[in-house]
Chain A
Amino acid sequence: TQLLEQSPQFLSIQEGENLTVYCNSSSVFSSLQWYRQEPGEGPVLLVTVVTGGEVKKLKRLTFQFGDARKDSSLHITAAQPGDTGLYLCAGALTASKLTFGTGTRLQVTL
């Protein structure tokens, strides 16, 4: 079983702080996706990164794909309470399925 380890598992920060979530694996992925899941809902796709070294920005969120396409990071600038949720990375090994990471639960308080 391919494993995607995320760190940290839990993160509780105050509004306005910056944070970084990491997603690491020993496998090479053709692409990597980040999802956010809020309580009572399913995961929602935030971004897909495809090229080694690629950086994508989505407002206050910055996503990076490692050069070797084995790892990724998500950086949030000036976190807001609306960023609270479970962040999941997912790597595509084949066209038929994704391998999901262990998850990072983020709590942003006022």
Chain B
Amino acid sequence: ETGVTQTPRHLVMGMTNKKSLKCEQHLGHNAMYWYKQSAKKPLELMFVYNFKEQTENNSVPSRFSPECPNSSHLFLHLHTLQPEDSALYLCASSTRTTHNEQFFGPGTRLTVL
């Protein structure tokens, strides 16, 4: 238990569906992140939020829409995804120290049909 929870753990959706991923951290951290982990690719940073403000968008397609209502909660809204978006989506939090050590949730395994 790392103090970061993600729901759902598994999600199967069609290309026309709209769904949302949820992340919650109980560590009192001020920064939250979304990462994408695909087979045969390094972990890819998608979005960074610091004190609820988005500070980084790593050229992510607009079919992924993040939302951070407060420092403890982070959402990733999904719509009109493509099969190549199938991956493990990981949420992480940190205190934004110099070393930026990340605490990850267990991830949501997403399959797009």
- Name A residues whose Cβ lies closer than 8 Å to a Cβ of B: 3-4, 30-31, 33, 35, 40-45, 48, 50, 88, 90, 92, 95-98, 100-103
B residues sitting closer than 8 Å to A (CB atoms) are: 2, 4, 33, 42-43, 45, 48, 50, 55-56, 90, 92, 96-107
Q: Is the CB of A43 within 8 A of B102?
A: yes
A48 CB contacts on chain B under 8 angstroms: 99, 101
Check A42–B107 contact: CB distance below 8 A.
Answer: yes
Once the chains bind, are A100 and B106 in contact (CB under 8 Å)? no
Q: Which 8 A-B pairs have the closest CB atoms?
A: A42-B104, A100-B43, A31-B99, A100-B42, A43-B104, A48-B99, A42-B90, A102-B42
Q: Which residue of B lies closest to A94 (CB)?
A: B100
How many pairs of residues, A versus B, come closer than 8 Å at their CB atoms?
A: 64
- How far is A101 from B44 in the complex, measured between Cα atoms in Å? 10
Least Cβ distance of B32 to chain A in Å? 12
Q: In the docked arrangement, what's the CA distance between A48 and B101, Å?
A: 8
Alpha-carbon separation in the docked complex, A92 to B96 (Å):
11
With A4-B42, A101-B42 in contact, do A33 and B101 touch (Cβ < 8 Å)?
yes
Question: CB distance B43 to A96 under 8 Å?
Answer: no
Asked, given contacts A42-B4, A42-B107, whether A31 binds B98 with beta carbons under 8 Å apart, the answer is: yes
Q: List 20 A-B contacts (CB under 8 A).
A: A4-B42, A33-B101, A35-B102, A35-B104, A42-B92, A42-B105, A42-B106, A42-B107, A43-B43, A45-B101, A90-B102, A92-B99, A95-B96, A95-B98, A95-B100, A96-B56, A96-B96, A97-B45, A97-B100, A103-B43
- Apart from A43-B104, A97-B45, A98-B45, what are 10 other A-B pairs with CB-CB below 8 Å? A30-B99, A31-B99, A42-B2, A42-B90, A45-B101, A45-B103, A95-B96, A95-B97, A97-B100, A100-B42
